Structure 1
Amino acid sequence: MTPRLFDLSSTWHFAAAPEAVWAIIADVDMSWPKWWPDCSFAAPLVRTEPDSNSQEDILKATTSYLNFKASLGYTLTISIHPTKVVTPSEIEFDAGGHLEGTGKVTLTPETNGTKTRMDIEWKVRPTKHWMNLLTPIAAPAFTAAHTLMMRRGEKGLRRALAGDAAEQTK
């Protein structure tokens, strides 16, 4: 039996320009655990030799190993490896670990570039045996846990953006 494909999407809105959002989400040192309450490093970043010193090439040469703690009490360890980077608007990546598949983050300017719409897409299959066994009955609970975790990530990124704005006014 092939594990179920979860096609998960989220849309976040920020009162910040895409460049400000990009600076945080595409940080080559992967700052997500600093602002996302349910996210922590599972292992140090792994970086191969980038093709150049550009942010895009450094990101594509980096694999992040992150833990995401779900509200249901389980933790998923996921590797994220960018495969396409278009500054400051798009990152596509391969996901591995407890969820295998692909993801994409797209930033779209709104209100003459002063605000940002962030669309996040995950197309992943669980690799944990217990998740695959429970998916036929627990898929709605897994999806709800994902939605809550994403909402907490959005709030954390909003706080990080507000902190950056406060730092710039000092």
Structure 2
Amino acid sequence: MSSRLFDLSSKWHLPATPEAVWAIIADIDMSWPKWWPHCSFAAPLVRTEAKSNSQEDILKATTAYLNFKASLGYTLTISIHPTEVTAPKEIEFDAGGHLEGTGKVTLIPEANDKATRLDIEWRVRPTHRWMQLLTPIAAPAFTAAHTLMMRQGEKGLLRALGEGAPKKTK
């Protein structure tokens, strides 16, 4: 049974430079669970031998297995494996597990490089049989759950960026 392709996109506006955003989202330890609510590691990172010690090559040699707890009560386990990395601008990745397909994260400077728009695109199909069966009637609910999950990620990233900001002194 071939399931429906979901084309999902999000735009986050962040009050930080692309380099500051990149430092958090492209961390070689893929530490998203530290700042993304309802996200946890499903398994340890899998890392093959990188072509070099560059951040880009280390990311491309890494696969993360993450659990995302949706507002509807289910948990999706998704593998994320970067395939193209251009610091500090873009990451393309393959997704596997409960959602199979591809994704892309693009950082676009705003406000004279003092802010960043983060565009996230997913083109995925559910692999869970129950999701495949329910998609014809539940697609709007799945899309709404995705939107809420992404909003939680945006808020978590905003907090993480704020924690890394220099403290103001009087």
TM class by smaller structure: over 0.9
1:31, 1:109 → 2: CA distance?
Answer: 23
2:132, 2:56 → 1: CA distance?
Answer: 35
Question: What's 2:139 paired with?
Answer: 139
1:78, 1:158 → 2: CA distance?
Answer: 23
**Secondary structure of 1:49's match?**
coil
Question: What's 1:94 paired with?
Answer: 94
Percent identity over paired residues: 80
**Secondary structure of 1:37's match?**
coil
- Is 1:108 the counterpart of 2:108? The answer is yes
User: Which residue type is aligned with residue 56 of structure 1?
Assistant: E
Q: Deviations over 1:62-82 (max 9, x none)?
A: 000000000000000000000
**Secondary structure of 2:165's match?**
helix
Question: What's 2:35 paired with?
Answer: 35
1:108, 1:149 → 2: CA distance?
Answer: 22
User: Which residue type is aligned with residue 85 of structure 2?
Assistant: V
1:38, 1:99 → 2: CA distance?
Answer: 17
How much does 1:166 deviate? 3.9
Question: What's 1:64 paired with?
Answer: 64
2:118, 2:143 → 1: CA distance?
Answer: 19
**Secondary structure of 2:72's match?**
coil
How much does 1:11 deviate? 0.1
Q: Deviations over 1:84-136 (max 9, x none)?
A: 00000000000000000000000000011000000000000000000000000
Q: Deviations over 1:24-48 (max 9, x none)?
A: 0000001100000021000000000
TM-score normalised by length of structure 1 = 0.97
Q: Deviations over 1:143-164 (max 9, x none)?
A: 0000000000000000000000
Question: What's 1:25 paired with?
Answer: 25
Considering only aligned residues, what root-mean-square deviation do their CA atoms show, in Å? 1.0
TM-score normalised by length of structure 2 = 0.97
User: Which residue type is aligned with residue 7 of structure 2?
Assistant: D
Question: What's 2:49 paired with?
Answer: 49
- Is 1:78 the counterpart of 2:106? The answer is no
How much does 1:19 deviate? 0.1
